[in-house]
């Protein structure tokens, strides 16, 4: 197994950890949290935990990064954390969960196009097939085939697609951030720091809940920051540092929706319909297609 294959395993693990996001969001909502405050706590605790992890593993020198890496981290925080969270929560509020999820999963398309332009990745038949299968699988898993994008107003449609675009730029900007061989833990830490500050300034999320310092809510936020944030982004940026095929990253990470669907069925008794099972199978098939292609390159 070559280094890039190992890196894609890390991206796969990241997707599994991200699959717990829905679990934490619902648990925190039941505890009285708002979407913006949940996002803020996730980034805040994730930042604190990653800062400690970076100091323990790489030492204080790891935080001394180059100008190019710093700019990339600012973009990651503002675009891929702050702006993404605002656009996605707005899309869900306006368009509903099903349609909002459909628009979010346009992300691999944006990553694919950006990788062709910025990194000169060569498209081939396997990539195109895997991309289409992945998008179809994500849509079916998220919506069970019950959605109507055609009825959306242009502004609402743009908000949803904007969420997909900002989400899709994470591996692109992240790869640029890792080009100066910075510590992946430091990059992840700065990413969350700038995202946290951006949401704090734009949304003032602590004002959107009645009890922002409720102990149970803060504990859930800390667990959210540990599992789906600090650990997830540690694997994510560590994997990105050795990957040359950026367009494959969101496809492999899309295992997130599979894990999320399984958790939804197991914990919240959500329906596991035939259509959703077909969607899960398509997502796994798309990941397998990219994995086989990667192994042939080793």
Give Cα separations from 197 to 41, 55, 94, 230, 264 (angstroms): 11, 21, 25, 17, 31
Please give the average per-residue pLDDT across 92-115, as a whole number: 80
Q: Minimum mean pLDDT among 1-5, 96-100, 114-118, 294-298: which range?
A: 294-298
Please give the average per-residue pLDDT across 22-48, as a whole number: 93
Task: Return d(Cα 284, Cα 88) in angstroms, integer.
Answer: 24
pLDDT at 20: 93
Q: Give yes or no for a contact between 273 and 202, defined as CB atoms under 8 angstroms apart.
A: no
pLDDT at 297: 47
Kindly tell me if the per-residue pLDDT of 70 is higher than 80. yes
Mean pLDDT, all residues of the chain: 89
User: What is the pLDDT confidence band of residue 192, given thresholds at 50, 70 and 90?
Assistant: very high
pLDDT at 222: 97
Task: Return d(Cα 79, Cα 171) in angstroms, integer.
Answer: 12
Q: Give yes or no for a contact between 95 and 152, defined as CB atoms under 8 angstroms apart.
A: yes
pLDDT at 79: 96
**Higher model confidence: residue 55 or residue 122?**
55
Tens digits of residue pLDDT in 211-242 = 999 999 999 999 999 999 999 999 999 999 88
Tens digits of residue pLDDT in 119-177 = 998 878 888 899 999 999 988 888 777 665 555 567 778 888 999 999 999 999 999 99
Kindly tell me if the per-residue pLDDT of 68 is higher than 80. yes
**Higher model confidence: residue 268 or residue 37?**
37
Range of the domain at 239: 3-297
Task: Return d(Cα 295, Cα 80) in angstroms, integer.
Answer: 29
Task: Return d(Cα 54, Cα 178) in angstroms, integer.
Answer: 15
User: What is the pLDDT confidence band of residue 298, given thresholds at 50, 70 and 90?
Assistant: very low
Which residue's entry shows tokens 């086989």? 292
User: What is the pLDDT confidence band of residue 59, given thresholds at 50, 70 and 90?
Assistant: very high
* Structural domain count of the chain: 1
> Residue ranges of the alpha helices (H) in 105-183?
107-118, 125-143, 154-168, 170-177
């Amino acid at each position: 197994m070559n280094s890039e294959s190992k890196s894609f395993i890390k991206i796969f693990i990241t997707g599994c950890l991200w699959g717990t996001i829905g679990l934490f969001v619902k648990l925190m909502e039941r505890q009285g949290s708002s979407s913006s405050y949940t996002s803020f706590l996730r980034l805040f605790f994730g930042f604190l935990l990653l800062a400690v992890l970076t100091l323990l593993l790489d030492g204080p020198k790891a935080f001394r990064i180059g100008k190019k890496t710093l700019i990339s981290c600012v973009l990651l925080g503002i675009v891929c954390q702050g702006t993404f969270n605002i656009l996605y929560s707005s899309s869900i509020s306006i368009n509903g969960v099903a349609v909002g999820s459909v628009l979010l999963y346009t992300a691999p398309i944006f990553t694919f196009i950006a990788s062709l332009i910025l990194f000169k990745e060569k498209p081939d038949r396997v990539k195109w097939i895997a991309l289409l299968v992945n998008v179809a699988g994500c849509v079916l898993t998220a919506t069970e085939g019950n959605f109507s994008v055609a009825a959306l107003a242009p502004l609402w449609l743009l908000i949803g697609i904007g969420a997909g675009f900002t989400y899709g730029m994470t591996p692109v900007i992240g790869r640029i951030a890792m080009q100066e061989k910075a510590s992946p833990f430091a990059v992840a830490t700065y990413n969350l720091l700038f995202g946290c500050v951006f949401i704090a300034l734009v949304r003032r999320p602590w004002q959107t809940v009645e009890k922002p310092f409720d102990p149970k809510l803060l504990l859930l936020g800390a667990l959210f920051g540990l599992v789906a944030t600090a650990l997830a982004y540690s694997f994510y940026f560590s994997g990105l540092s050795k990957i040359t095929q950026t367009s494959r990253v969101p496809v492999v990470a899309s295992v997130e929706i599979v894990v999320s669907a399984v958790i939804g069925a197991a914990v919240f008794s959500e329906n596991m319909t035939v259509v959703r099972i077909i969607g899960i199978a398509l997502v796994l098939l798309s990941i397998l297609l990219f994995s086989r292609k990667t192994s042939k390159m080793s």
